[in-house]
């Protein structure tokens, strides 16, 4: 995609979006259970979570495609509950592209302008500007079936931007694309979003997409907000065990209580956050924080190795059957063959503790 210079007519100003106590149920199923969330002007916020967590429902309510049972949706302080979808000043990009097959790329981009009664010459100029912005000016006369999936999604993005919306809504727009195209397009979407300064809500179930693209990531679970934070904070300081295990990889290691601390692997560790009041406990550890030292008398047995390039993920098993993953430099991992023994080490810092799962 080209890095075409954005003209003044393409630049937009982002709005503040607020969900206040948002609730929505579909029969006995609660999709949103009191969602409170603010998206700052010009921010790209990703809604992340498993299927059924309520992320798409929240986006569709903001777009005006769904109604909420209670609560408020505000854009720049105005409650838009009674504002119809076509007047909400929001552009939307769907997973399935949703281009009109009988219209050229340029006519697809200009469709919303035509519906607004914009003159033909202005529509043509605006469409050309946006096609240049998304790197496809030479495809103006092509029809959707003559475009690749990535090109179709760029056209869909240009169409969503044509009306200069204050809010851009992205509903898993990359999930139908192959891995290489998805990687390139997510970088370009992020570049455009920052260039335009448009407030963007991005729904995805792909944690890598969320962490690489968003200013902040809001993790939902069963209609409730678990945590909303910058990607680095979300990954390194998860507020709950659910966030810790949903975002990135975690190993669970059984531990025992030692007053306000816990004991595991022959050592005592302080606890990060609250220690559950009862029940058996696990410590949650990311693979990059696990050290392995080859030792013929070590308590852990190497049971697997996955080459990841500069790093190799080693899986070891303790005598109680617990499996722990460790990411080591590939050169160091070569000294830990499958079947060999090792000692497991953890850094000297507080650990995240959760009740043991069944």
DSSP 71-125: EEEEETTEE-TTS-GGGS-EEEE-TT----TTS-HHHHHTHHHHHTT--HHHHHH
Q: Which CATH class is domain 17-241?
A: alpha beta
Q: Is the pLDDT of residue 4 over 50?
A: no
pLDDT band at 2 (very low <50, low <70, confident <90, very high): very low
d(CA 335, CA 291): 13
DSSP helix/strand/coil, 307? strand
Poorest-confidence range of 33-42, 164-173, 319-328? 164-173
pLDDT given at position 12: 52
Helix axes 149-161, 179-196, angle to 10 degrees: 20
In which order are the strands placed within the sheet that holds 300-307?
Answer: 291-294, 341-345, 300-307, 311-317, 323-329
pLDDT band at 335 (very low <50, low <70, confident <90, very high): very high
Average pLDDT value for residue range 296-320: 95
Average pLDDT value for residue range 139-164: 92
Which residues of the chain are in CATH 3.40.50.300 domains? 17-241
- Nearest C-alpha neighbor of 204 from the set 231, 180, 240: 231
- Paired residues of 112 in beta bridges: none
Which residues of the chain are in CATH 2.40.50.140 domains? 249-355
The CATH number of the domain covering residues in 249-355: 2.40.50.140
Average pLDDT value for residue range 302-325: 96
pLDDT given at position 13: 67
Q: Each residue of 73-128: pLDDT tens digit?
A: 999 999 999 999 988 989 999 888 789 999 999 999 999 888 888 898 999 999 99
Whether the Cβ atoms of residue 228 and residue 59 lie closer than 8 Å to each other: no
pLDDT, the chain, mean: 91
């Amino acid at each position: 995609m080209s890095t075409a210079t954005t003209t003044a007519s393409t630049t937009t100003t982002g709005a503040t979006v607020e969900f206040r106590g948002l609730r929505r149920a579909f029969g006995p199923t609660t999709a949103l259970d009191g969602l409170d969330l603010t998206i700052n002007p010009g921010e790209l916020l990703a809604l992340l979570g498993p299927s059924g967590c309520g992320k798409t429902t929240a986006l569709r309510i903001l777009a005006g495609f769904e109604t909420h049972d209670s609560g408020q949706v505000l854009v720049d302080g105005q409650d838009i509950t009674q504002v119809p979808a076509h007047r909400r000043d929001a552009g939307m990009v769907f997973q399935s592209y949703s281009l009109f097959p009988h219209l050229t790329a340029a006519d697809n981009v200009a469709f919303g302008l035509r519906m607004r009664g914009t003159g033909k010459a202005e529509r043509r100029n605006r469409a050309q500007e946006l096609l240049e912005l998304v790197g496809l000016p030479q495809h103006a006369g092509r029809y959707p079936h003559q475009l690749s999936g990535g090109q179709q999604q760029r056209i869909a993005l240009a169409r969503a931007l044509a009306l200069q919306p204050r809010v851009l809504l992205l509903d898993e727009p990359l999930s139908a694309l192959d891995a290489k195209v998805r990687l390139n397009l997510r970088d370009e979407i992020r570049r455009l979003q920052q260039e335009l300064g448009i407030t963007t809500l991005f729904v995805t179930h792909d944690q890598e997409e969320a962490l690489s693209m968003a200013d902040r990531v809001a993790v939902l679970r069963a209609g409730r907000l678990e945590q909303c934070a910058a990607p680095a904070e979300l990954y390194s300081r998860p507020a709950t065990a659910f966030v810790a295990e949903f975002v990135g990889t975690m190993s669970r290691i059984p531990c025992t209580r030692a007053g306000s601390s816990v004991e595991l692997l022959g050592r005592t560790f302080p606890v990060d956050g609250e220690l559950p009041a009862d029940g058996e406990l696990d410590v949650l550890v990311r693979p990059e924080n696990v050290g392995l030292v080859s030792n013929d008398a070590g308590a852990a047995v190497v049971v697997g190795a996955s080459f990841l390039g500069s790093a190799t993920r080693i899986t070891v098993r303790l005598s109680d059957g617990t499996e722990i993953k460790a990411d080591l430099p590939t050169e160091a991992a070569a000294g830990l063959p499958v079947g060999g023994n090792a000692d497991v080490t953890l850094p000297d810092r507080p650990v995240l503790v959760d009740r043991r799962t069944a």
